[in-house]
Structure 1
Amino acid sequence: MRIVRVRAFGPPEVLRVEESETPRPGAGQVRVAVEVAGVGFGETIVRSGRYPLPLPYEPGIEVGGRVVELGAGADPTLMGRRVVATTLGNAGGYAESALAEAGFAFAVPDELSLDQAITVFQTGAVSLGMLSAMRVRAGETVLVTAAAGRIGTVLVQLARAAGARVIGAVGSADKAAIVRELGASFVADYGSPGWSEQVRKATEGRGVDVALDAIGGTVGAQTLEAAADGHGRIGLYGYASGTWTPLDTPTVVRRGLTVSGPLSATFAKPLDEQRADAEEALRAAAKGVVRTLVHATLPLADAARAHAVLESRESVGAVLLKP
């Protein structure tokens, strides 16, 4: 079978399609004939060497397709079903076949295509987990940076569904229009000077109750400026800028802010709760509560281009690969 492998860290071109033996599932595992694979921004960070894994490695965390082989003890009702799944060891998804734990292979609702399901099942689970970790309540105001990204678009919709008022922060006017369509009541351009002050004005000077930042660096620091004094809760879950948000402890203490890492808290949840979040995300998409967005669908041989699209910051929603 064909699989994408990385033998050296570097630019997108280090992603190479190679031939490999078809994997066989072990106990409690399934083999999925991959029809679509998700491409995440975090995978570009690993590939670049900024968060290195032992070499060589095979990228790909999310796959969608049909179960074609069961390992001993795997749920027999999964055989032949359309599923989306997280790959065994969070690796090997950019391929024609991939392994997954049977417990993390999710049947796709009839109302959804595989492209829609793969866009939302893991991203939605992560978003639900982070909103829970941040204790988002109805009536609160939530700021989401990188709001046009794959996680950002889902966070905007799920926070709004939870009864929160949502403010998005994006890097272009085109992205702002889409985020408004998804339910944000106000959208700021974080490329403009003083955007955090615009957010404060949009909240009548109070600042936001909750802020979720995936960018870090200067944008992350400005996100803290937009938080409400006395009770603002800031969740840092990424550093797309290349650096984490700088924190000045005296300022955090003086302003009465709470800073946390909701993504790690989400992944620390019991596995049955993580599975329940993924199932809830699929149901939300099937009901139309969450609209799935796909920016580009590319063949497996264009994995390098998929990474380049994500790194260009031009994408809105998901980037997918198809073997």
Structure 2
Amino acid sequence: MKIKAIRIEKQGGPDVMKLEEIDLPAPGAGQITVRHGAIGLNYIDTYHRSGLYPLKLPSGIGLEAAGTVEAVGEGVESIQTGDRVAYGMGPVGAYAEAANVPAMTVVKLTDDIANETGAAMMLKGITAHYLLHSTYPVKRGDTILFHAAAGGVGLIVGQWAKHLGATVIGTVGSEAKAELARAHGYDHVINYSEENVVERVKEITGGKMLPVVYDGVGKDTFEISLDCLAPRGLLASFGNASGPVENFDLGLLNAKGSLFVTRPSMMHYLLSPEEIAWRMDDLVDVVSKGIVKIEVNQKYGLADAVQAHKDLESRKTTGSTVLIP
């Protein structure tokens, strides 16, 4: 069938994305066709577009969407046409009116989760799940730090970590973002444009510092993150919104307290059908119960994907953003 989709023929700035009409074939074995009601916008999309994470070109773009199942491929028994589902781990090409995706990577949405919420919660929510449950399993009584607390992952982490019993510290760049973070589980919010992050962490923890820092910012916050850790603490550097960390001296880890650093990515935390189902089911559960509220603060038409990327990269967005086909 004919659908409209965002395509890229070269990698670069937002303007390389073009809305085109393409042919979507029938779903193959193990696949389903999802007619999208909403599409999630994520920072990793900008890496795919720019070439930081190279794609085989020409290519679609986008990893996350929610909508209604229109067709079911051979061998699929768990999903039926008419089911409302969401997915958040690709394949690349979600910026489209519809897509064929593996049935094992979708989760059924409960009636109380709208398509926009479903599209906004999957990739960010699964990221929050693996960070909080696997990269460093947060325990009751832990004090943790999350950079970019008012972003899409940050707002989910604040609520979920609070539910797990942690004291949650977040960093933001403005007072408006600080208010948003406080409303989503953060006990302490540090405005890095006005405050010294390391000194505030020292003050909050009584000098004990932290067992873990979650850092999706990258280059601009890397050494700050290390300096916030207690001896043998872990830096989970899961993104690089400010640019990649380069020329890292391993000796710093020894000098700053025998620290650990990991660079996790979602694909390595979704290595089996059981692990995929665990993370997706947990996410739907906490959202359905209202433990984690998904803030969809920006909506753009699919044709306006270029502007959406510009706004995301200039840090004009908060919470989650969706494209509406």
User: Over the residues paired in the alignment, what is the CA RMSD in angstroms?
Assistant: 1.7
Cα distance in 1 for residues equivalent to 2:313 and 2:63: 18
| Counterparts in 2 of 1:264 and 1:69: CA distance versus 1, 3 Å | closer
Offset at 1:268?
5.1
Offset at 1:281?
0.5
| Residues 232, 257 of structure 1: 8 Å contact kept | yes
Q: Which amino acid in 1 is paired with 2:124?
A: T
| Counterparts in 2 of 1:27 and 1:96: CA distance versus 1, 3 Å | same
| Residues 30, 102 of structure 2: 8 Å contact kept | yes
1:172 aligns with 2:174: yes
| Residues 269, 275 of structure 2: 8 Å contact kept | no
| 1:227-238 alignment runs, 5 A limit | 227-228=229-230, 230-238=231-239
Offset at 1:121?
2.7
Offset at 1:172?
1.3
Residue 298 of structure 2 aligns with which residue? Answer: 296
SS at match of 1:241: coil
Offset at 1:222?
0.6
| 1:202-213 alignment runs, 5 A limit | 202-213=204-215
| Mean Cα deviation higher: 21-30 or 128-137 | 128-137
SS at match of 1:112: coil
| Residues 149, 317 of structure 1: 8 Å contact kept | yes
Q: Aligned match of 2:259 in 257, 260, 263?
A: 257
Residue 44 of structure 1 aligns with which residue? Answer: 46
Offset at 1:135?
2.4
| 1:188-207 alignment runs, 5 A limit | 188-192=190-194, 194-207=196-209
Q: 5+ residue gaps in structure 1?
A: none
Query: TM-score, normalising length from structure 1?
Result: 0.94
Offset at 1:192?
3.6
Cα distance in 2 for residues equivalent to 1:271 and 1:244: 32
Cα distance in 2 for residues equivalent to 1:105 and 1:268: 13
1:105 aligns with 2:90: no
| Residues 5, 59 of structure 1: 8 Å contact kept | yes
| Mean Cα deviation higher: 118-127 or 136-145 | 118-127
Offset at 1:103?
1.2
Offset at 1:67?
0.2
Residue 120 of structure 2 aligns with which residue? Answer: 119
| Counterparts in 2 of 1:51 and 1:265: CA distance versus 1, 3 Å | closer
Offset at 1:46?
1.8
Cα distance in 2 for residues equivalent to 1:112 and 1:164: 26
Q: 5+ residue gaps in structure 2?
A: none
Share of identical aligned residues, percent?
32
| Counterparts in 2 of 1:31 and 1:54: CA distance versus 1, 3 Å | same
SS at match of 2:106: strand
Query: TM-score, normalising length from structure 2?
Result: 0.94
Cα distance in 2 for residues equivalent to 1:147 and 1:157: 11
Aligned length: 321
Cα distance in 2 for residues equivalent to 1:267 and 1:46: 20
Cα distance in 2 for residues equivalent to 1:126 and 1:293: 16
Cα distance in 2 for residues equivalent to 1:77 and 1:136: 33
Residue 228 of structure 2 aligns with which residue? Answer: 226
Deviations 1:273-303 (A, max 9, x none): 1221111101101101001011211111101
| Residues 63, 87 of structure 1: 8 Å contact kept | no
| Counterparts in 2 of 1:265 and 1:58: CA distance versus 1, 3 Å | closer
Offset at 1:17?
0.5
| Mean Cα deviation higher: 156-165 or 26-35 | 156-165
Cα distance in 2 for residues equivalent to 1:246 and 1:180: 35
Cα distance in 2 for residues equivalent to 1:142 and 1:76: 38
Deviations 1:176-231 (A, max 9, x none): 11101111111112234622211221111111221100011131211111111x23
